[in-house]
Amino acid sequence: MLHPLLYLCAIIGMAGAQTYIGSFGNNTVVNISSCPITYYGQQFEKLYVSRNKPTARADTKVSKPVRSTQQRKKPNLCRFDSVYELVSGLCVCNLTVTSRHLSGMTLMYNESRVVDCVNVTCDDAAVFNTSAPCGPMEHCENNTCMVDLVCTVTGPTVVEFDGTNNYIPDRCAYTLLNFSDVVVSGKFRERRRQDMSFLNSVALSVNNTYFYLEQGGIVRLNSSLQTLNSSAQDFDGVELSKDHTGVTAKSSDSNFDITVFFDGYTAQIHFKGPDLCVSPSSCDVQYNDTTDSTINCTLMTERCNVLAEAPFTACHNHTDPNPYITACNDTMCKYPSVDGLYCQFLHAYVKACNLHAYSTLGNWWTNYGCSPPKALCQDKFCSDHEFCAVASSTDEACFCRAIFASSYTSNDTLGEVTECMGSTARVTLVGCLLEEKGINYTNLHMNDANCTGRKDEQDHRVTFIFDSSDTCGAVITTNGSHLSYANSIVSSFNGSVVREYVANISFSCHFFHPDNETMSFIIKDNSVVTEVTSVFGNYTLSMKVYTDSIHTRLVESEVELNQKIWVMLETEGLEGGFVTLVIDHCWATNESSSNANLTHDLIVDSCASSADGTAEVIVNGEKTWSSFAFNMFQFSGYSGDIFLHCQLHLCDSANNRTCTPTCPVSKRRRRSSRMQYVNEAPAFITMIWSN
């Protein structure tokens, strides 16, 4: 029986075509062009005969085979593009693709193999199938499709890995990259406007170890501050380094590299790996702010569009400038052109270009009024309510965040409300508000030029304080209702030319004179305390009764008629040498009202009343406390409570002023017989304070 191929040719030969007649050797080639064979869509014009195994090779382009609905025997044929051959029942292909690894590949039927990121399969029809190669943003590395991308975060804009822009509307932390056990997030805070947020810090989490990259080149490992230099140091598998341009953190594994760069305002994440995940999430309150009418948006758009021109065109093939131009326009048309913000966008684009192609574009900044690449506010600390930026003098300074500053600017003030504590006055100015005005706190002093402010190195507040030991030139006045002392914070300069804001901040403290104070003697209480309060200052006034002249033994329970007692009126919260307490008038009544019909004077016009005979002034107008004494009595015909009332005032004793009253010398007079002790149940009395 003829072989099927020979049989077909024999039939054709019988029809009159030229017929090959001869014997076959070990390797014989028969020209069958006059009788071509079509097999699974492939036309054969030569027949190769071997005594071992036949081999078919096509010399023409393969057309796609048309499958029959009938069950066919699996052919021993391999096809891919224009070259195929059959060897020992295996598909052996010389592929016309560019990869040298696919050339001469041998596959069994239904076998698959991944080569140069291409999945190659020999199917049951002896046809090679290939998967799509790596995507447009990927490249093949170690037989894995990898990405080599840069995400840039600058101002309020995130330029994503795919070149799209995300605008951050609020003050929040956003996840910028989440891959494997590595999470990179950025925290956004407001600057000069309440409705715009800017990148403030970057956090890198690797296997639950947290690295915080903050303004000023500050780096914390969890909560521990780290000291870095330009040489990379390993911290739990993360390489950290710091130079004049910023801080770099790098985390690597067998199949990815993640590099985070932060210069204080711009962060760039360079990712090399098989896949990535970006999942921003929003939080916090969004604020509204008034439109800044001073911004020339047309001019700012022209300035931002320079990224489309030379020398930046050298980067266009691998770093699209459009997301950066859009980010620049969106920001600069809303935010004032201060703080070096415009140059920040140009630097961000050039840095992204450098990460892609290691191109620096030379000294491009000289043509745009920008400084060379450097980290903003390197090693300069700003508190949480501040942000660091370039001042008008090109120096870096800490300025107030808009939300924090709003409570001060709405009241047109530079600091806190004056604190009045007794004879001490304290004024605290906010350091970043002084920076806004261009005021150098070292040039400020009170009326006395030697009294300067002290700056807190943590929150940068500047405090001015004076007290009775050093009034710092305070002016002290008094009238019928209150005592006042005033001072000023002013600027001082050397020379005849001034180029900064001249400060003149006045502040004062006022203390109301005490109202009439009333004490009633009932049973057991030996002292009463009240607090004299005003919107200007507070102090405490107390009245205590003792049984000895040195004020050591308080009345415990009972006092006999005609027993001598010492009454002490004392303030707390006022410092001696600055103000003193003066008793004007003390009198007793048989009712709680100080205007009762039945009264008895003990102190009149700051001196002992001659009507009592036992009263004497011990201390009055010399200190922040006063004292007097008298012998206990009761009203004739009354066995009820006795109420003691005292009227006092504060006296300015600074600058050697005399507050001690001058009293006439008089003899004591004995009380009348009705005040003497009588043979009846003794009166037991206690003092309480009655307002």
Tokens representing 307 are 């990224």
**pLDDT recorded at residue 203:** 94
β partners of residue 103: none
Q: What is the pLDDT of residues 520-559, one digit of tens each?
A: 443 334 455 555 543 335 677 888 888 888 888 887 767 7
597 residue type, one letter: N
Phi, psi of 300 (to 5 degrees): -65, -35
**pLDDT recorded at residue 345:** 95
Q: What is the pLDDT of residues 32-87, one digit of tens each?
A: 777 777 654 566 777 666 555 444 444 433 333 333 333 333 443 444 443 344 44
Tokens representing 559 are 């006092």
Count Cβ atoms below 10 Å from residue 309 Cβ, excluding itself: 9
**pLDDT recorded at residue 87:** 42
The burial of 650, by beta-carbon neighbours within 10 Å (0-12 exposed, 13-18 middle, 19 or more buried), is given as: buried
**pLDDT recorded at residue 127:** 63
Q: pTM score, two decimals?
A: 0.60
Question: Where are the chain's structural domains?
Answer: 4-130, 144-273, 400-512, 517-690
CATH of the structural domain 400-512, one choice from 1.20.210.10, 3.40.718.10, 2.60.40.3210, 2.60.120.10: 2.60.40.3210
To which residue do tokens 């029942």 refer?
89
Report how far apart, in Å, the C-alpha atoms of 452 and of each of 200, 441, 442, 446, 584 are.
33, 9, 8, 6, 39
Report d(CA 684, CA 559) in Å as an integer: 6
**pLDDT recorded at residue 547:** 87
Strand order in the sheet with 224-226: 173-179, 182-190, 197-206, 209-214, 218-221, 224-226
What lies within 8 Å, CB to CB, of 17 at 6+ separation is 34, 35
In CATH terms, are 144-273 and 517-690 the same topology?
A: no
**pLDDT recorded at residue 376:** 83
Fold of the domain spanning 517-690: Immunoglobulin-like (2.60.40)
**pLDDT recorded at residue 554:** 86
**pLDDT recorded at residue 281:** 52
DSSP for residue 411: T
Report d(CA 185, CA 177) in Å as an integer: 7
Half-sphere exposure of 71 (CA within 13 A, CB side): 0
Tokens representing 524 are 């057991």
**pLDDT recorded at residue 69:** 34
Report d(CA 416, CA 428) in Å as an integer: 6
What lies within 8 Å, CB to CB, of 143 at 6+ separation is 114, 115, 116, 117
**pLDDT recorded at residue 200:** 92
Q: What is the CATH number of domain 144-273?
A: 3.40.1000
Q: What are the residue ranges in the chain where pLDDT is below 50? A: 1-19, 40, 53-101, 276-280, 519-526, 533-536, 667-691
Report d(CA 90, CA 55) in Å as an integer: 12
Helical (H) or strand (E) element with 346: helix 341-357
Report how far apart, in Å, the C-alpha atoms of 415 and of each of 323, 401, 463, 487 are.
41, 15, 10, 15
Closest CA to 261 of 186, 361, 193, 314: 186
